[in-house]
Amino acid sequence: MPAITGRASTNIISFLILQLSLLFSETTGLNSQGASTAFAVRWIGEAQSFFLNRGPNSKGAIPTMSSQASRSARRYINLPGRPAGLPFSDAVLVADTLYLSGRIGIDPATGTAPPEIERELSILFEEFEAVLQQAGMTMDDLVTVQIFSPDVSLWQRFNAEYVKHFQREFPARAFLGSGPLLLGGRFEMMGTAVRKV
């Protein structure tokens, strides 16, 4: 029997998808109006996209539940020695993207921000980089950064330390005026990093 290729192959696949979708609609009650119809149309479109884009010579693996689950699996990162009972994680890693919580440069000996700005910044960046390292990343993997400060006149002093921690291009950033920060902090920094592949 000769191989079926080209337009004939596409037509046959489309016909089979249509038949399967009609059967699916009848057996699951999706032939009603409104949201059910929208769901059926979406299902048909996704099925067509998947099968028609694969083609007879496609080397791509068929997606499985396990591969999809691994892409959306979450890893919660917390630095050792952090206070117990905090209602947040230091960061959450989803696939290749790391979401870093807001961080203040807190002196572990006192539980508050140190009186010296340079010391506060040193602690802040040291711990921020430690969280990134737990995910196998560096400051150069950051794509966005937000800094909150009750005193925006400290912008230049923050920048003087900030620029020392990058080897490549800087991420997108916002330096935002805020109300008072917890524990006497002058800066709170959060960000999003994406692992280079």
The 3-class SS string of the chain reads CCCCCHHHHHHHHHHHHHHHHHHHHHHHCCCCCCHHHHHHHHHHHHHHHHHHHHCCCCCCCCCCHHHHHHHHCEEEECCCCCCCCCCCCCEEEECCEEEEEEECCCECCCCECCCCHHHHHHHHHHHHHHHHHHCCCCHHHEEEEEEEECCHHHHHHHHHHHHHHCCCCCCEEEEEECCCCHHHCCCEEEEEEECCC
What is the distance between the alpha carbons of residues 171 and 154, in angstroms, rounded to a whole number? 20
pLDDT digits (tens), the chain, 197 positions: 555 455 554 455 555 454 544 444 444 444 444 444 444 444 445 544 444 454 444 444 444 445 555 567 999 999 998 888 999 999 999 999 999 999 999 999 999 999 999 999 999 999 999 999 999 999 999 999 999 999 999 999 999 999 999 999 999 999 999 999 999 999 999 999 999 87
pTM to 2 decimals?
0.65
Q: Which long-range contacts (CB under 8 A, 24 or more apart) does 39-43 make?
A: none
Cβ atoms of residues 141 and 193 within 8 Å: yes
Minimal CA–CA distance to 142: which of 176, 173, 174?
Answer: 173
Question: 29: buried, middle or exposed (CB in 10 Å: 19+, 13-18, 0-12)?
Answer: exposed
